[in-house]
Structure 1
Amino acid sequence: MKVLISVDMEGISGIVHPAETNPDRYDYERGRALMTAEANAVIAGVLDAEPAAEVWVADAHGSFRNLLPEELDRRARLVRGKPRPMGMLGGLDEHTDAVMFVGYHARAGGGPAVLAHTMSDAILDVRVGGRSLGEIGLNAAMAGHLGVPVVLLSGDDTACAELCDLVPSAVTVAVKEALGQAAAVALHPEEARERLHQAAAEAVKQRTLVTPLALAGPLEVEIDLYGPYMVDLATLVPGVSRAEGGRTVTFTAADFADAYRLVLLLVQLASIKPG
């Protein structure tokens, strides 16, 4: 069996501030060490339960170059760098049996939640069929499109609740209780890792009981963007149109895979500054 572990950074225990997640800031090296340790705890839990499992780990934060390769459990394969197919789910395919989200955060507008956002600060909201989805929902639905269930999520309590609303039978581990965008009550990192180890083993054992999040097409997608110039760029993409209000673009996708790819493209376009 194949398990994909997608590891973000904002939902790691002890992390509450952008300085801990930004390579240009002073506290980043400690943040990436904590991130790698939590990934290792989940890898160990999976392999305790399924010793023959093929474990892939997708670095899913920012540049996708945060996990320390030399410190990662050598039994796992690391998907690193960008751009790449599937974005945060690098390595996902139809042969994957289960996906786990480690260190994930709540969507933009969710709260109180630590470092909540959706893909980038340029994205205010993504709605699919009228339902607001953050990175948790978008990635869970992409996995679900391939018939793969999300069986585990760790992050703050708001992120855990977000997945439970979408996939009620998934296992969640709240490694911190959010007090706000940059404040939380966190578990000690060693305690968080012990809980993740145990939860990963439990989640992989009950993977067949978790229903994938499948959203049938065609799908109407709306994206609220931070700046009007971002809307100007987005509407250069065929099929993307401007909605009323000045900050929203819309498009229709044949299925969720098409929707996911176009959302990833629009996120990148939104990062371009006007000349």
Structure 2
Amino acid sequence: MKVLISVDMEGIAGIVHPSETGPDRHDYARGRAAMTAEANAAIAGVLDARPDAEVRVADAHGTFRNLVPEDLDRRARLVRGRPRALGMLAGLDGSVDAVMLVGYHARAGAGPAVLAHTMSDAVLDVRVDGRPMGEIGLNTAMAGHLGVPVVLLSGDDAACAELRALVPDAVTVPVKEALGQGAAVTLHPQEARELLREAAAQAVARPVPVPPLTLTGPVRLEVDLAVPYMVDLAMLVPGVGRTGDGGRTVAFTAVDYAEAYRLVLLLVQLSSIKPA
């Protein structure tokens, strides 16, 4: 069995503020240690149930260089750094049997939800065939495009609800109850890790497989961007057009979901370019 564990940071137990998630912030060292510990809990759970499993861990937060390599369970292989194909799902291909999303957060505009956003602060909303999707939905559908189910998610209660709405059979581990964008009632980190280890084992040992989320093409993609100059940059991409009032929203019809997913990743990168 092959399992990919994609690990973000905002949904880790105890984390509620950007000072804990950014490399230039004073609490970041504690945040990345907690992120690594939850990754290890998920790895251990998979290997408790499937000792012969091949486990890859994709560092999926910010710079993709947050997990502490020397502290990660040595039985797993780490996917680290950027840029890379498939972004938060780097290491995914059709040979993978299951994906787990650890430390994930709800989409932009959700609430109450801890540190909710979609890919970057430049993206206000993403709609796929009219349905709002954040990182949870976008990544779950990308895995599904390759025939791979998302079998587990950990994060706050809003993130867990977001996955259950898409994949009702997935295992979810709510490690904190969101009170707002920067506040939560959180489990003790050790308790969260114990629950995550048990849930990861359960997710890969269940006799009935979780079905992948599959979106058939063509796919209509709409992205609301934070400021108009980002729309201007997006218009340089062939096939992208303005929609609505034209000031903040771009649209694209992709031949399949994978093309739509790659465009979202590209728009996020373009949005980091500042006007001269």
Length-normalised TM-score, structure 1: 0.99
- SS of equivalent residue, structure 1 residue 47: helix
Q: Provide the C-alpha distance between the structure 1 equivalents of 2:45 and 2:207, rounded to a whole number of angstroms.
A: 14
Q: Provide the C-alpha distance between the structure 1 equivalents of 2:150 and 2:244, rounded to a whole number of angstroms.
A: 35
What is the match of residue 267 of structure 1? 268
Q: How does 1:116-265 map to 2 (within 5 A)?
A: 116-206=116-206, 208-245=208-245, 246-265=247-266
- SS of equivalent residue, structure 1 residue 114: coil
Q: How does 1:19-38 map to 2 (within 5 A)?
A: 19-38=19-38
- SS of equivalent residue, structure 2 residue 103: strand
- SS of equivalent residue, structure 1 residue 56: strand
Q: How does 1:74-113 map to 2 (within 5 A)?
A: 74-113=74-113
What is the match of residue 70 of structure 2? 70
Aligned-residue offset at 1:79 = 0.1
Aligned-residue offset at 1:271 = 1.3
Over the aligned positions, Cα root-mean-square deviation in angstroms equals 0.7
Aligned-residue offset at 1:201 = 0.1
Does the aligned pair in 2 maintain the 1:7–1:61 contact within 8 Å?
Answer: yes
Deviations 1:210-233 (A, max 9, x none): 110000000110000000000000
Q: Provide the C-alpha distance between the structure 2 equivalents of 1:206 and 1:143, rounded to a whole number of angstroms.
A: 19
Structure 1, gaps ≥5 residues long: none
Does the aligned pair in 2 maintain the 1:101–1:150 contact within 8 Å?
Answer: yes
Deviations 1:6-50 (A, max 9, x none): 000000000000000000000000000000000000000000000
Length-normalised TM-score, structure 2: 0.99
Q: Provide the C-alpha distance between the structure 1 equivalents of 2:133 and 2:152, rounded to a whole number of angstroms.
A: 18
Does the aligned pair in 2 maintain the 1:219–1:255 contact within 8 Å?
Answer: yes
